[in-house]
Amino acid sequence: MKIQSVEAIEVAAPADELSSPWSSTVVLVKVTTSSGAVGWGESPTTLMTHPVRSSVPEVARFYEGRELHDHGTGRREFERYSFYRYHSMEATSALSGVDIACHDLIGRELGTPISTLLGGRLRERVRAYSNGWYSDCIRPEEFASKARAMVRAGFTALKFDPFGDQYREISPQGLRAASERVAAVRRAVGPDVDLLIEYHGRFLPSAALRAGRELDQYSPRFMEEPMIPEYNDALAEFRQQVRTPVALGERLLTAAEFASYLRRGLVDILQPDITNSGGFSYGREIAGVAAAFGAPVAYHNAFGPVQTAATLQMDATLPTFFLQESFEASWPEWKRSLVRGYRIEKGHFEIPDGPGLGVEVDERQVERYRSDQMDPIGPEPPWVIAGTWVPRSVGRPKRGRRS
């Protein structure tokens, strides 16, 4: 079988749907072989939808016409030609989508899950933490109410961003508000639920440190991306002065970067994203780095259902697996309709055991929601959960012009 075509397909929320900007688009990668077989991958968005989508044809030139089982040669050729790959999430994200789709095809051809191709499973189910559950939460009691609902649904770990509209600096009022929100959630769910504090890489080092010291008292399981990434060297001091472990990784693109962060003592828990760090091929290298350092891995998983399916195949094989991020409980129906074949129950994912990714993409739904628009913008940044920076009554996101 030869790789006949590689296509990037953007799908987007219906125009009348209110949702967080980051969750309003998905970039799927469809790889078709000379025999007509189809495999699927996914690449990330978050205000990068068009650059990533436009990068897929650049990667495709190294794969199309090549034997499917020789797809690794295409990857190495792209690596050699792509001068900025090591610092370009557009390049690595496009490569990831194609790589995932190629593995999906090979698994389907052989009739086995991708986890078998990666060396075999260590587990059949994984514990998930819920994210996205706190939309439209401003007051502490709003956070507490929705947190209780997630625990009733079976989740034993919850991630949330308590910082509202604070950015770069944090005011005394902003810090007090964040502390009150976390305190309310801790009271609501009790001591046995893991609280995971999302900073979204938003603070200068001094502000991150103040926030970390304040929120330590609530015994979070980790604090994610406490500071603006270009200042991450200061995480060494943060880890010395804050008891809570540091998690990060969704903005790291190579195994060498992960190794560097671990070697320099800047991180405790790794959060790679299989859709921007090279798919399964480079994902195995990152997993090897984690194993070498004994670092727990909690894959970043914030976009679409193909990403979830791919990530679960990696989870099955990780020797240092820790937790799996899940937005499924907060997804709109259009996103749920794209894929069939995996499920989450009582806070745990069952890992699909069908061939390839173990799921089926509904191409009718893909066509139904096909789009060429830019990510929506305003009034909140695209990386926040809707209604937590400013109430959604202030304004609705605006779609970008057509390409």
Catalytic residues: 200, 300
Question: Residues for the chain: how many in total?
Answer: 403
SS3 content of the chain, % helix, strand, coil (to 5): 40, 20, 40
Interatomic CA distance for residues 368 and 230, integer angstroms: 40
Tokens standing for residue 94 = 């496009």
Look at strands 125-130 and 38-43 and give their pairing: unpaired
Contact 337, 308 (CB under 8 A): no
Can you say how many angstroms the Cα of residue 124 is from the centroid of all Cα atoms in its chain? 21
Spatial strand order of the sheet with 3-12 comes to: 3-12, 25-33, 38-43
Helix (H) / strand (E) element for 210: namely helix 205-215
Look at strands 269-270 and 246-248 and give their pairing: parallel
Tell me if the bond preceding 51 is cis, omega within 30° of 0. no
- Residue 319, SS3 per DSSP: coil
Query: Token match 């937590």: residue?
Result: 388
- Residue 232, SS3 per DSSP: helix
- 178-202 b/e with 16+ CB inside 10 Å = b? bbebbbbbbebbeeebbbbbbbbbb
Residues ≥6 apart with Cβ < 8 Å to 40: 28, 29, 30, 31, 100, 101, 104, 306, 357, 361
Of 370, 383, 378, the C-alpha closest to 399 is 378
Query: Token match 């991708």: residue?
Result: 114
Interatomic CA distance for residues 375 and 50, integer angstroms: 8
Interatomic CA distance for residues 28 and 30, integer angstroms: 6
Of 222, 235, 254, the C-alpha closest to 88 is 254
